[in-house]
Structure 1
Amino acid sequence: MGWLVWGNQETIWTLSRGVVTARLSPRIVALAKPKKDFSKHQCRLVIGARPLLEDFGFPSDRLLKLSEPKKYQAAYLEQRPHQSPEWPVSPAALRYKASPRILELAQPKKLHPDFLPAREVPTRVANTPALVRASSRLQHLAEPRVRKETCCYEHSFLESVIRPVSKLAQQAIASPRTLELATAKRLHPDYVPLRDAAWPVTKAAKHAVTTPRLVELAQPCKRPTMDLARFNPDAFTVKETAKKATCSARIQELACPIKR
């Protein structure tokens, strides 16, 4: 009696001794044999040779009947929603004559009288503007402004400035409204700045001793791996006791966010 090898991977559930040492019946051995490949024995059509007789045969009445598409039942057509592309129409609806109001509503919406269609992309230019020649002044104004690649303007002062300021701008006096707009926006009176990443720890916190209850709550929840949990339908169920639990006043107080 040999030992049965189940591939090169471990199984999810451990196999019993009886399953591992089971003997195969002749029927299972016969079913385990792979199907033979008869593709090499098939007759292929040779170009220029005589075609097979099956190509010229006509289907029988039985094949024609089986090839017809399946018809829908009347009960299914009545219960089918109107979103379907096809649904039965009653004879009364087929013989119905639309009223003048329905015919009026069926007319497509007309365009606005002031609507102008999109103009063609190649705009036709008249012969007169096409023959006009631009003056020297227009050509001078059409030239792009050349700027030097520098962050400072050319000046004759000793100190370097980014751009020159006129004397009128230097002697201008700001109005009260301008001074009001120039003031920076103040922070909210209840604004609390962000706390530093590191802050001093009190002596009481350094000498604190954790209770057995805190140590128990600090332990992480042990759950099975996802490879095993996905095969268990009750892996993520919630207990009935947890559904009926009521939060205490202390838990509600701890659940409130910190106000800053």
Structure 2
Amino acid sequence: MRLLQLSNPKLIHPDFQSNRESVESTVSFASKTAQISQRLTRLSLPRLKESSTCCKLGRPEESIWTVSRAAQKALVSARVEMLSTPKQLSKDYIPPREPEWSRENVRST
């Protein structure tokens, strides 16, 4: 019931007076007759470029990304390996429990 009440839009205040009839905007003659230049048209288009970082899809076991030889031959330092290990959970951490449902706790409507 409360959800239905909250879903209704707010009503307009009874003393509200709209003045939309008096709002006017004038567009200048120059704005009405303006011509767009070729340069502006070119600048408005998205820039398209070929991506060289991604290869065509092949077999699932093949990589989509190209990996440089230097990256393939790189050796990990002790510092990088230490930073890559996940943090341990706090000793006070209590994992979330699965909810326990019983027929006594469930009321039928």
TM-score for the superposition, normalised by structure 1: 0.18
Q: Which has the larger radius of gyration?
A: 1
TM-score for the superposition, normalised by structure 2: 0.39
Higher fraction of helix: 1
